[in-house]
Amino acid sequence: MRLRAILLTLATLALGLQALPAHAAAATATFVKVSDWGSGFEGKVTVTNGTTTALPSWNVQFDLPSGFTIPSAWDAVMTRSGQHYTFTNPSWAAPLAPGASASFGFNGSPGNFPGITGCTLNGASCGGGTTNPGVPGAPGAVSATATGSAISLSWGAATGTVTGYRVYEGTALKATTTATTATISGLAACETHTYTVRAYNAQGESPGQDATATTTGCTGGGTLPRHFLTGYWHNFVNAATELKLSAVPNEYDLVAIAFGEATATAGEVVFAVDPGLATAVGGYTDAQFKADVQALHQRGKKVILSVGGEAGRVQVAGAAAATRFADSVYALMQSYGFDGVDIDLENGLNATYMAQALRSLRAKAGSGLIITMAPQTIDMQSTGMEYFKLALSIKDILTVVHTQFYNSGSMLGCDQAQAYGQGSVNFMTALACIQLENGLRPDQVALGLPAGPGAAGGGVVAPALVNQALDCLAKRTSCGSFVPPRAYPDIRGAMTWSINWDASNNWSFSKTVKPHLQGMP
């Protein structure tokens, strides 16, 4: 009797188990960090079709923490907006059969990567769950066009279940729409606005996509602000984000085009849009570049040609070369609309003949000529260095010196007390003090720093530390252990290498430093 009762109980349990509802199968995406070597890492995502039907395509989206980037990926098509990445199946990939998996990989930087966040697969959580797809994926990239009183936005449709889209300026809701366009009207002329577009449904809002635009009606180029931000724009391809000049955000007041190059003729400088860059950005001609220079002028910006760079070989070591330098740079200013020149000769210069060249250029271009210099830290350690001699000899026509406070190791400051380590507030303030106490006006001194990880081999600092150093120099507040002998309220501003690296680091430098410059006295 006892055995029969046990068998009946087991049969009843089996029937009960068969009656339980089955959980809905789902597609999932799983991330693993394959390796991490300190300066970079390798990641892998595996998409698994756990459903009973073929998956015709897949779209994986996720966010990286600030400061991390993915320069390259394989076995997927990658697009990026800020820190938000999207990966879709390559064109050659067949539909993913039930139970099958497909993987893609990527290399990222820097190392010590903590992992991805906000992962979605075809709009649903990467962990699966077809009955609750969650919030939508981020909208596609936002484009903006402006008139004198309105800015019109358009964007790509978001993935997943989308009820509509909301457009924000900061935290203020400016528009709600079910379309992929919106127009914000009633604006004043020559105003710059940044809008964020988010998709939403009953589960919540997606990550946002930003766009910045300026209404028309600006009256020419104007003058540089009392405190301004300079950024270098790459006319070449490297690991940083490739950009057309039109993509430079409004935070930058002065854009230095890197670089004008040498020819076989001593002193001669030439420039043209790099073919590799043109290919990388989907096509870019000299005519389009010139139009973008004029568009920056309409936004109140200045654009100059930087001569030299790490590999630059421009040589001005005689009177004939000085004349050729002035003639060729002035011709490029007339052709491209450049407002001046930046001297970034990291392979040495002759202060006497470069001064001659710049004075000749000033005579041709007039008092509106912008002249900047980007010496390495070692070049401004004493007034006997050629760069320092050049700066002092053209002090009456010099706009600003933005020394590269990076890639230098430790250096002595103006107190000569100790070698300060790069990447610190002490380093920036104590070394800027050398220039400020040895002949340059405060309005001719700016701080040059990398825009974030990847931009330099050493001296990368958090943008907030740049603001702290500016306050230390301007007001003798927020200093480290080094306090300058006096305040320099006219300190001119900051420079970053580069706009492209700033883009690679989610615009952290410009979005942090520019508002601070605007708030300085």
Q: Give the residue numbers marked as catalytic.
A: 346
- CA 310, 311, 316, 321 torsion-angle sign: negative
C-beta separation of 348 from 267 below 8 A: no
CA-derived radius of gyration, the chain: 28
For the range 463-468, what are the long-range contacts, defined as Cβ-Cβ under 8 Å and sequence gap of 24 or more? Answer: 463/508, 463/509, 463/512, 463/513, 464/512, 465/424, 465/425, 465/428, 466/428, 466/494, 466/509, 466/512, 466/513, 467/512, 467/513, 467/516, 468/425
- CA 305, 463, 490, 344 torsion-angle sign: negative
Among 312, 330, 340, smallest CA distance to 256 is for 340
- Count of CB atoms within 10 A of residue 487's CB? 16
Among 313, 242, 292, smallest CA distance to 503 is for 242
Token duo for residue 22: 């089955």
- CA 432, 435, 441, 443 torsion-angle sign: negative
Residue 436 sits at φ, ψ, to 5 deg, of -65, -30
Token duo for residue 3: 């055995």
Sequence letter at residue 130: T
Token duo for residue 89: 């199946």
Sequence letter at residue 52: T
Distance between CA 122 and CA 160 in Å, rounded? 6
Q: How far is CA 128 from CA 29, 49, 135, 232, in A?
A: 8, 10, 13, 44
- Count of CB atoms within 10 A of residue 519's CB? 9
3-state SS class at 363: helix
Q: What share of the chain is helix, strand, coil (3-state, %, to 5)?
A: 25, 30, 45
Distance between CA 115 and CA 105 in Å, rounded? 14
Residue 450 Cα to chain centre, angstroms: 11
Distance between CA 49 and CA 27 in Å, rounded? 4
Distance between CA 178 and CA 301 in Å, rounded? 36
Q: How far is CA 75 from CA 45, 47, 62, 89, in A?
A: 10, 12, 17, 7
Query: Burial of 310 by CB count in 10 Å (0-12 exposed, 13-18 middle, 19+ buried)?
Result: exposed
